[in-house]
Homo-oligomer: A and B are copies of this chain.
Amino acid sequence: MILKAKNHGLHFRPHFKTHQSAAIGEWFRDEGVKAITVSSVSMAEYFADHGWEDITIAFPLNLRELDEINRLATKIHLNLLLDSYQAASFLQHELKAEAGVFIEIDTGSKRSGIKASDLPGIEKIVETISQSSKTRFRGFLTHAGHTYQAKSKTEVLKIHEDSLNPMRSLKNHFAGLNAVISIGDTPACSLAEDFSGADEIRPGNFVFYDLMQADIGACSVEDVAVALACPVVASYPQRSEAVIYGGAIHLSKDFMKLPDGKISFGRIAKLNHLGWEVLPEGNEIVSISQEHGIAKLQAGFFNDFSTGGLLAVIPVHSCLTAQQQKHYHTFENDFKAMME
């Protein structure tokens, strides 16, 4: 991803919400990364405490965290995100130290952001930001999260294009302001080759990828770099199922539909001392409750797992699974440097 950003002349500001780990952050720092994205004020505080000095909080400004934001703004280069005159005006009056401000644009994900077509609205926000000596207008930011619903590479690229177009228009419209155009969902950053008009990408999930990204076509299942190791606690040969200590509180309840219409909460993999071997589709976590998971195994694989052993699960959504674990093991050593 670093190479891709470099090749397209893009500033690389990876999202750290997927791994939430200071230790993994160091791997990025070793590669020259200096600016990051996070999704909450507390995550910004955590990474600021670990030496990160240029952080964008890519989440709508939470007015209730003003004290924490003010503390951060005095300490690091902080960028905030907002999409309303009200929030801009609040910052204008309440911000104690200088912070950058991005205006969030809704390019179709229908979550947060102002529409690019609402030029009077955007102009009013830009004006408010510019009036204050504390808020520095940085540019326009979008998250085309609807690529996660895409079912093919073609569909991802179409959404990417449709999302980039209004951003380009804004760049032109506000040409005098030197606005940064910040984009970057993992599917588009993995698959697209046209980033013209964009200045910065912020992908995050690519650090691990997951089954959902593989399903979209952003990676292969073998690319997924994180798995949940679960103790096998019971085994039912008649059902060809094993029960694992690994449920909703470990994996999250995110699921995906398999081609046969059935639901999976994760693909089963076999651990070895160097890593893991992903089993073919059809070897899946078919049901989960709070702490139980039911692993459905195809005939040839049932005997690979026995009570007392470990079974690895490739997560449907690695961000949520990692967030629930709070620590990682590598095949070289353990580390627990993670946000809590």
A252 at the interface (CB under 8 A from B): yes
A70 at the interface (CB under 8 A from B): no
Per a CB cutoff under 8 Å, which of B59, B110, B320 touches A233? B59
A305 at the interface (CB under 8 A from B): no
A22-36 vs B, CB cutoff 8 Å, 1 = contact: the mask equals: 000000000000000
With a CB–CB cut-off of 8 A, which chain B residues contact A65? 231
Does B111 contact A243, Cβ atoms closer than 8 Å?
Answer: yes
A17 at the interface (CB under 8 A from B): yes
CB of A117 to closest CB in B, whole Å? 12
A210 at the interface (CB under 8 A from B): no
CB of A9 to closest CB in B, whole Å? 29
CB of A257 to closest CB in B, whole Å? 14
CB of A60 to closest CB in B, whole Å? 4
With a CB–CB cut-off of 8 A, which chain B residues contact A165? none
With a CB–CB cut-off of 8 A, which chain B residues contact A319? 290
CB of A116 to closest CB in B, whole Å? 15
With contacts A110-B239, A112-B292, A249-B320 known, is A233 near B145, CB below 8 A?
Answer: no
Does A231 contact B320, Cβ atoms closer than 8 Å?
Answer: no
Q: Which of A236-293 contact B (CB under 8 A)?
A: 239, 243, 245, 248-249, 252-254, 287, 289-292
CB of A202 to closest CB in B, whole Å? 14
A60-98 vs B, CB cutoff 8 Å, 1 = contact: the mask equals: 111111000000000000000001101100100000000
- A258 and B51 alpha carbons, distance in the complex (Å): 47
Per a CB cutoff under 8 Å, which of B60, B111, B234 touches A112? B234
With a CB–CB cut-off of 8 A, which chain B residues contact A308? 63-64, 90
With contacts A233-B61, A252-B248, A253-B252 known, is A323 near B84, CB below 8 A?
Answer: no
Give 8 A-B pairs besides A63-B233, A252-B253, A290-B323 with Cβ atoms closer than 8 angstroms.
A40-B245, A59-B233, A60-B234, A64-B308, A83-B234, A84-B235, A87-B307, A111-B287
**Chain A residues close to B by CB (< 8 Å):** 17, 39-40, 59-65, 83-84, 86-87, 90, 110-112, 145, 231, 233-235, 239, 243, 245, 248-249, 252-254, 287, 289-292, 294, 307-308, 319-320, 323-324
